[in-house]
Amino acid sequence: MSGQTHAEGAELLRVTDLVKHFRPPRGARRDGPSVVHALCSVSFSVGPAETLGIVGESGSGKTTLLRTILGLQKPSSGQVLFLGEDVAQRRGKRARALQREISVVFQDPYTSLDPRMTVADILAEPAQIHRLTAGSRTAVTLLDQVRLPAASLRKFPHEFSGGQRQRIAIARALALDPKLIVLDEPVSALDVSVQAEILALLNELQRERQVSYLFVAHDLAVVADISHRVGVMYGGQMVELGPTGQVITEARHPYTRELLAAVPVPDPQVERAKPRMLQRQWPTETDGLPPCPHGDVL
């Protein structure tokens, strides 16, 4: 696989100048700002069969970005284009069609599956919602794709381990043969060894089915492991975006460099040579973020 610089027409998802602001509750407004910018003019694109990784710490806006792309929140301004069409403008049948093209896997495998449904019900739900019979894959095929035995069908989520549950969530995401799967911290709740399994599975599925991933996580090492390109979010902005190798070796933004330095390296010599970071150079959300230069859109 090579770091794609795909042609304009071939791109699957394009996000342009996405802005999302919130009005804080009335009580908190007196001392704080009147508007909080969760997203501040974010632009990027994802190509076919490509994995774009997005790294950010808490409060960086990565969750808001993801929810906006999934249609769970409306952007304040800017566009999310899927195959050239504005997601927010789609209505009726076109909107239904879009729901089949994008699916999601969430972080916590313990809460992302309805505890009251069997695996068979969970895997059948996407087709039920879209009233599809043909074209949707059978539950057994789906389970086979994520390497779970067919006997799992009649079980409930609580009978599986964290890693197995995440496989079920991936199977559900594959049910309608989407072009893009949004992965929201899919491995951060799992043990290291299980993380590796899931990442390997995701890679193989991408090879087999040419699906694109938008992989969002706080762990740069995990993101770098699976992504072709990496974007770094900080304070609602995309401060860095480029091919994975380039971001790691020649990061341009100082925040990216701090992030890179903070990732522990499994080598005592390297770790002990690092300077001690008692203070962060870049403030967190609670300490006050830099203002959004597009803050006057209101």
Partner 1 sequence: MPNPELVKDPALLTDAVPEAGSSKLVVTFGRFIRHRVGMIALAVLILVILAAIIMPLLWPYGYSEITPDLSQSPSLEHPMGTDTLGRDLLALVLRGMQQSLLIAFSVTVIACVIGVVLGVVAGYFGSFVDATVMRAVDLVLTLPTLALAAFLGSLVAGGGVSWLGLAMVLGSLMWTSVARLVRGVVLSLRELPFVDAARVMGAGPVRIMFRHLVPNVSDHIVVAGTLMFGVAILAESSLSFLGFGVQPPDTSLGLLVANAQSAVLTRPWLFYFPGLLIITIVLSVNYVGEGLRDAFNPRSSPTNPLATPRRGRGGKQRADRRPVTGQRSVTDRKPSTNANAVDGSTVDTDPQAPAKALIKVTDLSVRFGSQAAVDSISLEIQPGEVVALVGESGSGKSLTGLSLVGLLPNNAVGSGSVVFNGDELSDLTFGQWRRYRGRRIAMILQDPSTTLNPVLTIGAQFEDSMRLSAPVSRTEARRRTIELMASVAIKDAPARLDQYPHQLSGGMRQRIAIALAMVHDPDLIIADEPTTALDVTVQAQVMATLAVARERTGAAMLFITHDLALVAGIADRVAVMYQGKIVEDQDVFSLFEAPRSDYTRKLLSLAPRIDGKAVERQ
CB nearer to partner 1: pick between 141 and 246: 246
Least spacing, CB of residue 151 vs partner 1, in Å: 10
Q: What does the DSSP assignment read for 167-188?
A: HHHHHHHHTT--SEEEEESTTT
Backbone angles phi, psi at 177, to 5 degrees: 55, 60
Least spacing, CB of residue 155 vs partner 1, in Å: 8
Sheet holding 51-55, edge to edge: 102-105, 180-184, 212-217, 51-55, 229-234, 237-243
Angle between helix 192-209 and 162-174 (nearest 10) = 20
Please give the single-letter amino acid code of residue 132: L
CB nearer to partner 1: pick between 107 and 237: 107
Query: Please, is 253 exposed, middle or buried when counting C-beta atoms within 10 Å of its C-beta (0-12, 13-18, 19+)?
Result: middle
CB nearer to partner 1: pick between 249 and 296: 249
CB nearer to partner 1: pick between 8 and 31: 31
Measure the CA angle with vertex 254, ends 248 and 259; round to 5°. 55
CA distance 292 to 298: 12
Least spacing, CB of residue 238 vs partner 1, in Å: 18
DSSP secondary-structure letter at 194?
H
Least spacing, CB of residue 89 vs partner 1, in Å: 17
Least spacing, CB of residue 107 vs partner 1, in Å: 7
CB nearer to partner 1: pick between 7 and 192: 192
Least spacing, CB of residue 94 vs partner 1, in Å: 12
CB nearer to partner 1: pick between 194 and 297: 194
CA distance 159 to 165: 9
> Which residues on adjacent β-strands are paired with residue 234?
237
